[in-house]
Structure 1
Amino acid sequence: MTDSVPVSQPATSTQTSASTQRLVWIDIAKGIAILLVITGHTVSVGSPLVPMIFMFHMPLFFIMAGYTYKLKPLKTVALTSAKRLLIPYVIIFVLWQGYTLLQQANAFTLDTLATLAIRFIFASGSPNDALGITDVGMAWFLMCLFVSRILLTLILSYCEKHHITLPLQAIAFIVLAAFGIVIGEKLQIFLPFDLDLVLVTVGFMWCGYVARKTDFLAKFGFRLPVLFAALVLYVAAFSFSYLELAMRLYGVVPLCIAGALAGSLLACWIATLIERTSKLLTKCFVFLGQNSMLIYCFHCMDWFIPWKTLPALEGLPLKQGIATALRTLYAILLTLLAKRV
């Protein structure tokens, strides 16, 4: 759900090939992530897949957004991000809330409009009854990514201007994440435009940005000892804790953050394996990755279908897998239709 941009400027045919390969695995990784999003929303709440998926699938999107991010003037970032993220957010909000309002009698009252305005501004993926905040569903990600891109641009611009080193930047992003976690989870104060959550997600974006800038994956990330350590961290994280960004659930914070990064690293490595070993899977996942934004947007609006309890699937073996496949196919077909219009 991010723009695919070259990791580095090609200077030779060899470098061009390497850059292209990196773009391919990035799209595959995003394809894996969007498939996990749909799967995580379709399987039963008590399924062991839920903590395994939620531990890293949304962090992976933010990490990939950082990996493909290029520092540009704030106005440029704001305009391009608004076009790609805020406009879809507004469309999804209007369609979903409009559909909901049409089901109600006397829906257009001042109280209802005030509730809608608060819901739109806070853009929360989960309700906060104490603050009177209702959720916007999965559209939270669009607003959160938009604000994260803006904040990352502001911070990186400042760091470049004042020559702030990467270790100092890391400390700053850790402090920001700590504030976001305390505000959102501990104090249960949700800020407008997902700002409390953005303080956390911008850190994931920074990790992706630094990974590309330092060529971390090629130099260290895909080495066997690092991958083994990542696997151990990831398994420990989903076994002993739980992470869900939209709900502001951060579990055992150091373990969950490490687990999210570790799971994302493993997903990127798997993406490179797919690229090297299967042309068919590569083609499929590249399609999913390159169209992940459209797929996500259509997925945001499919809640009126009871995927988990489809009568036609009752009694069938692997019904959750079939439901996930049908839900994915639905989003893909609408994506193909939208691309033809």
Structure 2
Amino acid sequence: MERISRIDIAKGIGISLVVYAHTFSPFIDFTHMFQMPLFFMLSGYLYNQKDNIKETFIKKTKSLLFPYIFFLILTNLIFVLLCEILGKPHHIHPGILIAPYGVALALWTFVAVFIACIMFKVIDRTFDNYIYKVPAVFLCFFIGVGLYHFHIKLPLYIDSAFTIVIFYATGYWLKKYPVIEYIIYGGFVVAVIVYALSGYLPSVDLKSNIYSDPLCLFISCGISMFFIRLAGLLDKSNITKSIFSYIGRMTIVILGLHILVFEFLYLVFPRKDYMAAVAVSILSIALILLINKFVKIDVFLNKVRKIKLEPNLKRIKQRSEE
């Protein structure tokens, strides 16, 4: 699929916000409302309707689950080595395989997006008419919100995936029907007025499937749309285009490594300092891009994407039948 520069720029903005949010950020309660929804909408924008469920499963396994396993092993091995060198205690619980924490904390995104993609593909393939597709997507969203309110946690971030599906679907539908953007902005204005009058700030943390108020959906999508529009403006400048589009193309590598890089930077910078948080964010992205320039992690992951799994699966099946 041909890369779209403004989508890469939007990803670059998004991953920069995510990295900053994982430092000592005073704006985390606000940025949580849109930083991950922005990524999910961008993923939906790139949705391929032609692929069937099996093809989607195979493609997403290579593009999401393999990086998940790769970064899970890599980051923890390096972290254990760092702890041994510094003489710090460390312990890795087996549960990290299905609920990453510590230096692998951000990897939850890979699993949740994988499940959300499959959910939306099933909906898209099951129903031909939008009269059924749209309610099915909203049903998933309200199931996710309901699971939060009833304090029900599902393994492998399935509860988060239910909530995420609507952002993924919105990204795809925005590409097909741009008029939806005006509906989102209208709902955004209403939501801002309601929250301003009530003095209520909804709680959002999609990793923990915290989405306290469905009306916040318009805030999440509205601000995400703002950054997508901003990406379009930055696309007109060669400097901003080259910087943010490159960062955007390295999103998976940055997402997988930034918390580990924090551990090295925190040997020099204080953990709970607002100015240090900005410096750590910028330096961590710069260091990851520098490391990737020599190690070529992105090239390796792209090669994995191109591996044809289906012929190998057929050969395995044939051998098992012999």
TM-score of the pair, normalised by structure 2: 0.77
- Preserved contact between residue 233 and residue 258 of structure 1 (Cα < 8 Å): yes
1:18 maps to which residue? Answer: none
Structure 1 pair 136–180 and aligned structure 2 pair: CA distance change class (3 A):
farther
Say yes or no: does 1:196 pair with 2:144.
no
1:174 partner amino acid = F
User: What is the 5 A alignment of 1:277-288?
Assistant: 278-288=237-247
Q: Which residue matches 2:107? A: 139
Q: Which has the higher contact order (CA 8 A, sep 6+)?
A: 2
Aligned to 2:31: 53
Task: Indicate the SS of the match to 1:304.
Answer: helix
In the alignment, the residues of structure 1 paired with residue 224 and residue 247 of structure 2 have an alpha-carbon distance, to the nearest angstrom, of: 17
Q: Any idea what the Cα deviations from partners look like across 1:25-66, whole Å, max 9, x if unmatched?
A: 11111111011111111233xx1x222321101111111100
How far apart, CA to CA, are the structure 1 residues paired with 2:106 and 2:71?
Answer: 10
1:174 aligns with 2:138: yes
When residues 329 and 135 of structure 1 are mapped into structure 2, their CA distance, relative to the original with a 3 A threshold, is: closer
Q: How does 1:185-224 map to 2 (within 5 A)?
A: 185-214=148-177, 216=178, 219=179, 221=181
CA distance in 1, matches of 2:267, 2:61: 33
RMSD: 3.4
Superposition map of 1:256-275 within 5 A:
256-275=216-235
Paired residue type of 2:150: L
Which SS does the other structure have where 1:254 is aligned?
coil
| More off after superposition, 227-236 vs 141-150 | 227-236
Contact persistence 1:120–1:136 (CA under 8 A): no
One-letter identity of the residue aligned with 2:256: C
| 8 A Cα contact 1:64 1:205, kept in partner | yes
Structure 2: how far apart are the matches of 1:98 and 1:31?
27
Q: 1:80 Cα shift?
A: 1.6
The aligned length equals 289
147-156 vs 53-62, which deviates more? 147-156
The alignment status of 1:26 with 2:7, answered yes or no, reads: yes
Aligned counterparts, 1:121-160, within 5 A: 121=98, 123=99, 137-159=105-127
Aligned-residue sequence identity (percent) comes to 23
SS across alignment from 2:235: helix
Which position in structure 2 is the counterpart of 1:164? 129
Q: Whole-Å Cα distance in 1 between the matches of residues 61 and 154 of structure 2?
A: 20
* Aligned counterpart for 2:67 among listed residues 68, 83, 88: 88
1:327 — aligned with what?
284
Q: Deviations over 1:241-261 (max 9, x none)?
A: 23111122213x123211111
Please list the CA deviations of residues 91-136 of structure 1 after superposition, one character each: whole Å capped at 9, or x if unmatched.
22223444666769xx9xxxx99x51x4423x367xxxxxxxx995
Matches of 1:308 and 1:169 in 2, distance apart? 50
What letter corresponds to residue 31 of structure 1 in structure 2? G
Residue 297 in structure 1 maps to residue 274 in structure 2: no
Runs of at least 5 residues in structure 2 that lack an aligned partner in the other structure = 301-322
How far, CA to CA, are the matches of 1:228 and 1:307 in structure 2? 43
